Amino acid sequence: MWIQDILAKKKTIFALSPMADMTDSPFCQIVRMIGGADVVFREMVSSEAIVRENAKTMGMTDFVESERPIVQQLFGADPLTMANAAEIVMRHAGPEGIDINMGCPVYKITSNFNGCALMKEPSRAAGIIREVKRAIGATPLSVKIRLGWSDPDEFRTFIPIIEEAGADLITLHGRTKVQGYAGVSDWDRIQEAKKIATVPLLANGDIHEPSEVWEALDQTHADGVLIARGALGNPWFFSLAHPLAQQVDLKEKMRIIREHARLHLVHYGRGNLITFRKHLAWYFKASRLGCEIPHIKEIRACLMQVNNFSELESVLERVAPLQ
């Protein structure tokens, strides 16, 4: 079981959070290549689409061996459909774990009784966990939740319910669904949740810089952290969170971007980089670059127009030449 293996070795879990359209195979490969992350959670996929064996959705669960250990996140509202989807994913991809999304606040998800909407229906949530656990057996099952739908104390009754149903690990985001991503993540309540939980608990929310990892752990007493937006455009986040880590220079950052783009092209089998531009936008945020770059506005504009690797290469050469 990956959870116990990591905790036995280093006491603290550093995990990459599932993020829609972002934590795909190429990005997870880059994070694992750089090092520091103990496990990567792949972007959520629809249980209904998996059961229909939708080609695009099935492809989203594909991975390469270097990404292991990986956890595949599923979302859905029907217990049997979720269980069937988990079985299919285990046969198709064989991840080290399955994660159930009960924390997404986005209306498109919650309006169909998925994501955080399940926190309003604890009996349904428990039924989903029981059926999925029955389907995957000894494979670890984790659940991602929020403090609650509107009441930031809902987690107090929800955590025991999902633990009893079979959750092996819980990730808690320190906001309610109603808050969305507004305000600040309530690390004090995550600490309270840690006192309630009898299974390992990961803290999530507002850990934007590597230095904040230890602040979050000290304040929450969690068993680890699940890093989301802090890792976008910053795949060396986890390595920099380790003691005695060396800073990454600009040339190395450009090398990583090139490698990420190459993996993106290999994975998607397309000759253009249009779908890679979202990553470039993150890589070239001022907070990610860490230094002043002449004509940065012009460079960012050019990056948002690159179509292929040679065009990307010419822009990156302006930032930090290979030679």
- pLDDT at position 270, please? 76
> Alpha-carbon distance 185 to 172, whole Å?
10
Chain centroid, CA 118 distance in Å: 20
Number of Cβ within 10 Å of residue 11's Cβ equals: 10
- CATH code given to domain 2-240: 3.20.20.70
DSSP-assigned states of every residue in 5-46? HHHHHHSSEEEEPP-TTTS-HHHHHHHHHH---SEEEEEEEE
Taking residues 282-287, report their average pLDDT: 93
Taking residues 179-184, report their average pLDDT: 95
Taking residues 121-132, report their average pLDDT: 99
Q: How confident is the model at residue 322 (pLDDT cuts 50, 70, 90)?
A: low
- pLDDT at position 48, please? 98
Cα separation of the two ends of the chain: 45
- pLDDT at position 246, please? 85
pLDDT tens sequence across 33-92: 999 999 999 999 999 999 999 999 999 999 999 999 999 999 999 999 999 999 999 999
**What are the Cα distances from residue 79, in Å, to 49, 135, 275?**
14, 11, 33
pLDDT tens sequence across 219-259: 999 999 999 999 999 999 999 998 878 889 999 999 999 99
Domain positions in the chain are 2-240, 250-319
Q: How confident is the model at residue 310 (pLDDT cuts 50, 70, 90)?
A: very high
- pLDDT at position 60, please? 96
- pLDDT at position 211, please? 92
Number of Cβ within 10 Å of residue 217's Cβ equals: 19
pLDDT at 10 over 90: no
Q: Mean of the per-residue pLDDT values for the chain?
A: 96
- pLDDT at position 126, please? 99
pLDDT at 209 over 90: yes
Taking residues 136-147, report their average pLDDT: 98
pLDDT tens sequence across 192-207: 999 999 999 999 999 9
Q: List all residues 6 or more positions away from 125 whose beta carbon is below 8 Å from its beta carbon.
A: 102, 118, 119, 158, 161, 162, 165
- pLDDT at position 291, please? 82
Query: What sign has the CA pseudo-torsion 89, 236, 243, 194?
Result: negative
Task: List residues with catalytic annotation.
Answer: 104
- pLDDT at position 292, please? 83
Taking residues 280-290, report their average pLDDT: 92
Taking residues 116-138, report their average pLDDT: 98
- pLDDT at position 111, please? 92
- pLDDT at position 9, please? 86
pLDDT at 321 over 80: no
Which contacts of 176-179 are long-range, i.e. CB under 8 A and separated by 24 or more positions? 176/146, 176/147, 176/148, 176/149, 176/150, 176/151, 176/152, 177/105, 177/110, 177/116, 177/117, 177/119, 177/146, 177/148, 177/149, 177/150, 178/105, 178/149, 178/150, 179/105
- pLDDT at position 238, please? 97
- pLDDT at position 315, please? 95
